[in-house]
Amino acid sequence: MQRTLHIRLEEIDKNKAQLRYYFENPNDYRQRDLDLSDIAALIDNAESGYYKERPDDFSRTGQKLYHWLDSADRFLDQAIRKAHGTTEILVLAIEAEGKLSHLPWETLHDGISFFVQRKNPMIAPVRWFSQNVSDDEPVNRPLQALFMATSPQDVSLLDFEKEEALILEATQKQPMTLIVEESGELGELQNLLNSYPENYFDVFHLTGHATIAGSIAVFLTESDTGKPIYASAEMLSDSLIRMPRLIFLSGCRTAESAKQGAMLSLAQELIQSGAKAVLGWGRPVWDTDASMAAAELYGALSCGHELSKALAMTYQRLIENNAKDWHLLRLNIAGKMPGALVTPLKTPKREKAKPPSFASTRFLDTQGKVKVVSRENFIGRRRFLQRCIKSLRYDSDKIGVLLFGMGGIGKSSLAARLCDRLNDRQPVVWFGKIDEFALVNRLCEDLNKPLRDVLMNPDEELKFRLRTVFEQHDKPLLLILDDFEANLEMRNGLPVPSVEAKAVIEALSFAILKSEAAHRLIITSRYQFDIRESAYLLHEQLTALDKSDVSKKVSRLEKSKVKDSDEIKKLKQQAIQVADGNPRLLEWLFAILSENGLDYEKILSKMAEKETEFRENILAEELLKQQEPELRKMLALASVYELPVPKEAVEAVCKEIADLEKHLERAAALGLIEETTLKEETLFRVSRILLPVLKGDLPEDVEGLNGMAAQTIYKLWWKGSEKKTTEEQWLEIHRLALAGREQE
């Protein structure tokens, strides 16, 4: 149960402010004047004092605010004393404008503790707008939240995957439904909201970067190509066509009233645009604090607690965990303080939550050895996800995607992630070998009897049976052919599907196209292959994890809090270099490092064995032996570059290679060279994992090769480029110049 003490503060002149306070009845209020000179220093020094990066002891700030407000009639003290010993949550709804709104009301302190630390009664200070907005009753179902992370190109990355994982972990016992909008684009957000009924989402959680741009507060969202879009509150409001009861702007400065309160915060502007409750941060905040706050808040809301109690619990969790930015968390509300959003778990006739994830155990090899990463531990692949989701949408001109690339690179994990993202589809997975019998047998497990009879009819061709099933099945299917390389045969060094597998893809493609339904197909394979139906599939080659995603991956693998010795630090760096962005190999090597009782030499030996085993596992050496000498030589020469480089850079070191275009195309199809597009430019890179088997194809004059490579990328990235050279590119130029003795 919550009780709200409404507090209105209004500047009368430069010396006085009027205080008006009441509980539930606005006509039953008390009023008095307050002397602004008592807190003049606090107002004037807010920017240089409290709001600096490392504030002084802000308990003193909280005490000054408390004594100023409570002064003559001790109304705050009386309200707290009256609620003591009850189960009430005391909400302090503070309405203030200008410089008074800029003050840190969340730090209110009575000389013993911060108000938000109290547990009897719990106290929740909020920023209140006295609008005529009614509150809704809790819905008898689990919490339903929409999560959107924005990560534009050329903007520092946040570990938003960890924030999502913490939310899922916090709500594991009190399950919630978490729908993720993957694009970071406001147009796609609006499209997603249009796909759900009114009041479907209780919460909209937006995580990313926000800032003050001149005289306007903005959130950095993405364009359809990943470029930054500075979204104002008006743009956000226009996209939120169906406004949830709570919005959490999990970004820096989203609740900051800049220019000492002269400017409304992004949160306040959303309130004025019709939002009921908006949570944000008053200044820059550590992403670890923001993630911790989100996890605690949604954990409490999922239990059916009132928003005020959930907020109080969040403050207490942050303080207990020494989060230095706890006091910057600010809730803005319009009208009445919202109560519980949903009912508790054991409420009679309460709806059940949807499973948080399509079980990753469905993606297993026949021996069950290679596990697909869970939703909570998935990292990176943002651009891949965005492109794939667009191709798998109902309005796409594609019927599916082909994910190909080196073993262990994460193709099955990405397919599982797509199943989670497209949770309105019914996933059906086949692993390895596929033929008509296997297809029909597996599909029948998910069909009702009339459709099973149709599918098992031996008198009609497979593609027509599938079309009938797809037309009549009530839920869109997401069909996944995982580890499809088991169905490929090598001809002239290139992969070709078996007759049986080719017939299956042809039948599925025909049925999806002709039924005009929303069913879609995902194929994962180590190798790219070409068939007539390829035009209907988006081809995506998965490449190594980039530097920032490797850092995220390593932080998840480093479970021990014990400080590493210098030897272990060196071994971890070696493991990172050897894995070269391959998540499975990275996991294998870190598993060795976590074993007890191994000395330095044994660890090195086991890591070398694992590296060799991995290359055998991905068939790299055997595959290379089947290729023409010119292709192997091209790979060896191109491996001089550690970063992805433009085709001109590959051409410069491969001048002696005939039919370079053909060899590049073949190597990419076989996953022997990574081909990726960044900012509309095609880049190539040979994985460092292949270096041991390419040594014999390197020229004698390796120094000369390095020198030529250094000159080439210097011209491409510095002299001949209008784009800003990145630090990584400078380091690559420097590395090659040193190795090639190119002093100038």
What is the tens place of the pLDDT at every residue in 634-671? 999 999 999 999 999 999 999 988 889 999 998 898 88
DSSP state of 327: G
Residue type at position 421: R
Share of the chain above pLDDT 70, in %: 94
Query: How does residue 352 score in pLDDT terms, banded at 50, 70 and 90?
Result: confident
Give the confidence band of 345 by pLDDT, cuts at 50, 70, 90. Answer: very high
pLDDT for the residue numbered 246: 95
User: d(Cα 431, Cα 504) in Å, to the nearest integer?
Assistant: 14
Phi and psi angles of residue 524, each rounded to the nearest 5 degrees, phi first: -110, 135
Q: What is the DSSP letter of 240?
A: -
CB atoms within 10 A of CB 239: 20
Cα gap 213→268, rounded to integer Å = 16
Residue 305 has pLDDT above 90, yes or no: yes
- Euclidean distance between CA atoms 214 and 658, whole angstroms: 56
**What would the mean pLDDT of 299-309 be, rounded to a whole number?**
95
Phi, psi dihedrals of residue 352, rounded to the nearest 5°: -90, 150
pLDDT of residue 357: 67
Please say whether the beta carbons of 133 and 278 come within 8 A: no
Exposure string of 283-306, with b = 16+ CB inside 10 Å and e = fewer, is bebebebbbbbbbbbbbbbbbbbb
With contact defined as beta carbons under 8 Å apart, do 251 and 207 qualify? yes
Residue 344 burial (CB < 10 Å; 0-12/13-18/19+)?
middle
Q: Give me the pLDDT at residue 56, please.
A: 58
Is residue 221 a contact partner of residue 187, using CB atoms and an 8 Å limit?
no
**Which H helix or E strand runs over 230?**
strand 228-231
Q: What angle do CA 172, 175, 181 make, to 5 degrees?
A: 100
Higher pLDDT, 722 or 162: 162
Mean pLDDT of the 345-357 span: 85
Q: pLDDT of 392-447, one tens digit each?
A: 988 888 999 999 998 889 999 999 999 988 888 899 999 889 999 999 999 998 88
Q: What is the pLDDT of residue 670?
A: 87
pLDDT of residue 721: 61
Given a contact cutoff of 8 angstroms between Cβ atoms, the answer to whether 239 and 189 are in contact is yes
Determine the pLDDT at residue 298. 95
261-282 average pLDDT score: 90
CB-CB contact of 635 with 667 (8 Å) = yes
* Residue pair 9/18 in contact by the 8 Å Cβ criterion: yes
Average pLDDT over residues 227-247: 92
Q: What is the pLDDT of residue 333?
A: 95
pLDDT at res. 190 = 92
**Residues contacting 553, CB < 8 A, separation 6+:** 379, 380, 545, 583, 586
> Using CA atoms, how far apart are residues 679 and 664, in angstroms rounded to an integer?
20
pLDDT at 588: 85
455-512 per-position pLDDT tens digit:
999 889 999 999 999 999 988 999 999 999 999 988 877 889 999 999 999 999 999 9
- The DSSP secondary structure of 194-208, one letter per residue, reads HTS-TT--SEEEEES
Q: Provide the pairing of β-strand 228-231 with 216-222.
A: antiparallel
Pairing of strands 537-541, 400-404: parallel
Q: Give the span between the Cα atoms of 461 and 400, in whole angstroms.
A: 22
Report the pLDDT value the prediction gives residue 154, as an integer from 0 to 100. 75
Residue-level pLDDT at 115: 94
Q: Is the pLDDT of residue 348 over 80?
A: yes
pTM value is: 0.85
Of 245-259, 347-361, 513-527, 642-656, which gets the smallest average pLDDT?
A: 347-361
pLDDT exceeds cutoff 60 at 54: no
User: What average pLDDT does the segment 588-599 reach?
Assistant: 78
Q: How far is CA 643 from CA 285, 380, 531, 639, in A?
A: 33, 18, 32, 9
Alpha-carbon distance of 106 to 61, in angstroms, equals 10
- Which tokens go with 517? 């339904």
List pLDDT tens digits, range 501-540: 999 999 999 999 999 888 999 999 999 988 888 889 999 9
pLDDT for res 509: 94
Q: Which of 140-144, 322-326, 350-354, 366-370 shows the highest mean pLDDT? A: 140-144
Q: What is the mean pLDDT of the chain?
A: 87
Give percent of the chain above pLDDT 90.
43
Query: Residues 259-269, buried b or exposed e (16+ Cβ, 10 A)?
Result: ebbebbbbbbb
Contact status, residue 507 vs residue 360, Cβ threshold 8 Å? no
Mean pLDDT of the 338-364 span: 81
Which pLDDT belongs to residue 148? 92
Rounded Cα distance, 716 and 652, in Å: 11
Average pLDDT estimate for 98-119: 90
Q: What is the pLDDT of residue 404?
A: 93
pLDDT in tens, 164-181: 888 988 998 899 998 888
Give the whole-angstrom CA distance, residue 162 versus residue 164.
Answer: 5
Asked whether 249 and 265 are in contact (CB, 8 A), the reply is no
Tell whether the model's pLDDT for residue 366 goes beyond 60: no
Q: Which two tokens stand for residue 624?
A: 């290379």
- Three-state DSSP class for 25? coil
CB 452 within 8 A of CB 495: no
Q: Length of the chain in residues, anyone?
A: 744
Residues 663, 628 contacting (CB under 8 angstroms): yes
CA-CA-CA-CA torsion for 484, 490, 494, 496, nearest 10 degrees? -50
Q: Distance between terminal CA atoms of the chain? A: 74
Contact between residue 61 and residue 52 where contact means Cβ atoms under 8 Å apart:
no
Give the neighbor-by-neighbor strand order of the sheet with 537-541: 426-431, 477-482, 520-525, 400-404, 537-541
Residue 192, token pair as written in the block: 């997603």
pLDDT grade for 226, boundaries at 50, 70 and 90: confident
Task: For residue 149, report the phi and psi dihedrals to the nearest 5 degrees.
Answer: -105, 140
pLDDT interval class at 100 (50, 70, 90): confident
